[in-house]
């Protein structure tokens, strides 16, 4: 089976193309048949994945980039059950790789992909808003975590810090800024059709297919990519100064012990906000919405482990 590589050359602060060149040296030393396709704009990964998987039969797609690149590829796959995904992480957070236990070193990743011995059976999340449908591999959130993603996407600070190899600091700086700038809203969270839980001052609600988001923040420590369930972390009515303590502890999953933090699990979740809130899908901007429903695709995606 021919390997189809979808490469984001701009990932890793523009080093994606250099990493690909090193990966290609390994490929040329093997007997594996492959093709490479470079993304040129936002959404191009989805277009490429759709074109590459629209024909009948099995397909093997390898994404080289960050979680955003994988999100685009996953959204372009036509038939999940007929596709095998390989992943060479070159992002800043690599939350998907962390959740799946995949190597983050590109050379180790390509060796695993060429061996193609083990396939992880990964659930794929779906979020629906106002008739629009988008898949996610890691998470989809509404509120503060999404506000960070929205600002990072246009941040001049991030572009500057990327140039001096300190891009991760931009997320920390913007996260702290948004703690004080973000305005909470009343929220209802309904799980599996049960009586909605009502929250008066919702800071964020993160629906997780994996334990980590936002650069290895362990938002839902027990979340599993293979258990046919979604987890949700809800933070409500927590004083902003207290959040400065709670959020850092989330890197170890210790935020769950604080009053105002709720972690739940289910097959289908609907979020309803009293006002439009920012949303993200795998860290990518997904606009502003008052209602969103999250669930899992019927089929699991095979990921090379």
| CATH for 146 | 2.60.200.40
Q: Tally the domains of the chain.
A: 2
CA separation, residue 5 to residues 11, 13, 69, 113 (Å): 14, 19, 12, 11
For the chain, what's the residue count?
Answer: 305
Answer whether residue 292 is part of any domain.
yes
Per-residue pLDDT band for 215 (boundaries 50, 70, 90) equals: confident
Q: 147 with 112, same domain? A: no
At which of 62, 86, 117 does a domain end? 117
- Tell me which residue range forms the domain holding 211: 126-297
- Specify the CATH number for the domain of residue 83: 3.40.50.10330
Per-residue pLDDT band for 169 (boundaries 50, 70, 90) equals: low
pLDDT at 1: 84
CA 78 distance to own-chain centroid:
19
Q: Which residue has the tokens 């991030």?
A: 158
Answer whether residue 304 is part of any domain.
no
Read off the pLDDT of residues 123-139 as tens digits, 9 standing for 90 and up.
Answer: 999 999 998 999 999 99
Q: 160 with 293, same domain? A: yes
Neighbours of 163 (CB within 10 A): 11
Read off the pLDDT of residues 234-252 as tens digits, 9 standing for 90 and up.
Answer: 999 999 999 999 999 999 9
Answer whether residue 54 is part of any domain.
yes
Per-residue pLDDT band for 171 (boundaries 50, 70, 90) equals: confident
Read off the pLDDT of residues 57-66 as tens digits, 9 standing for 90 and up.
Answer: 999 999 999 9
Q: 113 with 130, same domain? A: no
Answer whether residue 303 is part of any domain.
no
Neighbours of 233 (CB within 10 A): 27
For the cut 90, the answer to whether the pLDDT of residue 165 exceeds it is: no
Q: 113 with 171, same domain? A: no
At which of 75, 99, 117 does a domain end? 117
Cα end-to-end distance, the chain, whole Å = 17
Answer whether residue 302 is part of any domain.
no
Per-residue pLDDT band for 163 (boundaries 50, 70, 90) equals: low
Answer whether residue 112 is part of any domain.
yes
Pair of tokens at residue 288: 């502003």
Q: What is the mean pLDDT of residues 20-32?
A: 95
At which of 117, 145, 179 does a domain end? 117
pLDDT at 60: 98
């Amino acid at each position: 089976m021919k390997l189809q590589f979808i490469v984001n050359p701009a990932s890793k602060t523009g080093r994606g193309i250099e990493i690909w060149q090193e990966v290609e040296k390994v490929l040329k030393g093997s007997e594996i048949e492959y093709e490479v396709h470079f993304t040129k704009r936002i959404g191009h990964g989805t277009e490429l994945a759709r074109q590459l998987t629209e024909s009948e039969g099995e397909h093997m797609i390898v994404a080289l980039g960050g979680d955003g690149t994988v999100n685009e590829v996953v959204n372009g796959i036509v038939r999940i059950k007929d596709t095998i995904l390989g992943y060479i992480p070159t992002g800043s957070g690599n939350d998907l790789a962390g959740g799946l236990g995949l190597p983050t070193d590109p050379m180790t990743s390509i060796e695993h992909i060429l061996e193609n011995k083990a396939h992880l059976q990964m659930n794929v999340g779906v979020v629906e808003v106002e008739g629009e449908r988008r898949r996610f591999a890691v998470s989809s959130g509404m509120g503060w975590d999404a506000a960070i993603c929205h600002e990072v996407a246009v941040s001049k600070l991030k572009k500057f810090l990327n140039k001096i190899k300190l891009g991760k600091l931009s997320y920390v700086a913007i996260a702290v800024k948004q703690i004080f700038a973000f305005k909470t809203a009343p929220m209802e969270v309904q799980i599996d059709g049960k009586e909605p839980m009502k929250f008066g001052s919702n800071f964020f609600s993160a629906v997780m297919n994996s334990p980590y988001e936002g650069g290895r923040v362990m938002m839902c420590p027990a979340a599993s990519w293979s258990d046919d369930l979604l987890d949700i972390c809800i933070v409500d009515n927590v004083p902003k100064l207290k959040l400065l303590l709670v959020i850092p502890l989330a890197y170890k999953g210790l935020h769950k012990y604080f009053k105002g933090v709720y972690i739940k699990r289910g097959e289908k979740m609907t979020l309803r906000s009293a006002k439009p809130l920012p949303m993200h899908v795998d860290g990518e901007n997904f606009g502003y919405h008052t209602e969103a429903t999250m669930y899992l695709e019927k089929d699991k995606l095979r990921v090379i482990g």
